[in-house]
Amino acid sequence: MFYHKHTPCAALQPFIACYFIWDSEGPMDSMMMVESPPSGFGSIVFNYGDAYHLQNKKYDKLPVPLQFASGQSIYSYNLFLQGTIGIAGIVFKPAALATIFNWPMFEFVEERIDLYKLFSKEIIDKYIAAIKAANSEQEKVAVLEAFMLQQLRTLKPEPDYIDEAANFIVAQNGMLQVNDLLEKSYMSRRTFERKFFQKVGLSPKYYARIRRIGYLCNLIAGKKKVDWPKIFYECDFYDQAHFIKDFEEFTGRTPQQYLKENTELANYVEKPAGNN
């Protein structure tokens, strides 16, 4: 099994964080459950393997469309996979799906929207057939790139200050104040927050909280022991009680329970040495 990330071309880097290919390299012996903390990124996914379902705070068992677009995940969620995993995906910067496609991202929060509801059947059939016909991981990535370059040529999106502000939250791992973003916005706080909500699907303050927890979960991924005081200090929590409250809200467990029961993807596959 492998999970590899790939960098987009220069023309797409204002919009795309990475492409990824997740492949079990054949059928699995049994069902696998993988969990994911909230990442703060939306995605478009083409599944060339078997269907699977997910569980989150909103859905006990949600059958995931084979080809879908997803918005923000507020809480940790579990994927239940069996058979063959074959997933080619595009991870977008936080406001990019709205910038490119003009989608109302608040409607995508905690959802997986079937791509056949968003694009013509002809377009989706064309690209999923190309991904299935690809003979290598690199060829699959090339299909994803071709799909996005076509969108770029057709829609001619232009990032604005909301894109910049959301990207800055990501760069700061959520450790900032909304006032830091307002200084360069030339908007009232109310206007800025409304526009941010339209393009990201969450308020800037709430989005920053998610990004901080996502960053924290990345710090502890795959570890058996953690220096918790060092972690919550590094992640700029005011005190331990505040840290535990936020952690439980977004992951559904105490930090120690999460560490013990963690079943993130990082525990199943090796991290690639390059192309990250």
9 occurs within a structural domain: yes
For residue 271, pLDDT over 60 is answered with: no
Task: Give residue 244's domain range.
Answer: 161-261
Q: What is the pLDDT of residue 269?
A: 60
CATH of the domain at 69: 2.60.120.10
Which of 126, 158, 190 represents a domain boundary (last residue)? 158
pLDDT band at 274 (very low <50, low <70, confident <90, very high): very low
pLDDT band at 23 (very low <50, low <70, confident <90, very high): very high
- Say how far apart CA 54 and CA 158 lie, in whole Å: 33
Residues 24 and 121 in one domain: yes
- Say how far apart CA 219 and CA 269 lie, in whole Å: 17
Q: pLDDT (tens digit, 9 = 90+) per residue, 55-74? A: 988 899 999 999 999 999 98
Percent of the chain at pLDDT exceeding 90: 70
The long-range contacts involving 190-193, CB below 8 angstroms and separated by at least 24 positions, are 192/162, 192/165
Lowest mean pLDDT among 76-85, 193-202, 228-237: 228-237
Residues 148 and 206 in one domain: no
Residues 19 and 154 in one domain: yes
Residues 50 and 63 in one domain: yes
187 occurs within a structural domain: yes
Tokens 């999460």 label which residue? 258
Number of domains in the chain: 2
76 occurs within a structural domain: yes
Residues 243 and 195 in one domain: yes
Residues 16 and 113 in one domain: yes
Q: What is the pLDDT of residue 181?
A: 92
Residues 154 and 165 in one domain: no
CB 231 within 8 A of CB 219: yes
Residues 26 and 43 in one domain: yes
3-state secondary structure 185-212: CCCCHHHHHHHHHHHHCCCHHHHHHHHH
Which of 158, 178, 195 represents a domain boundary (last residue)? 158
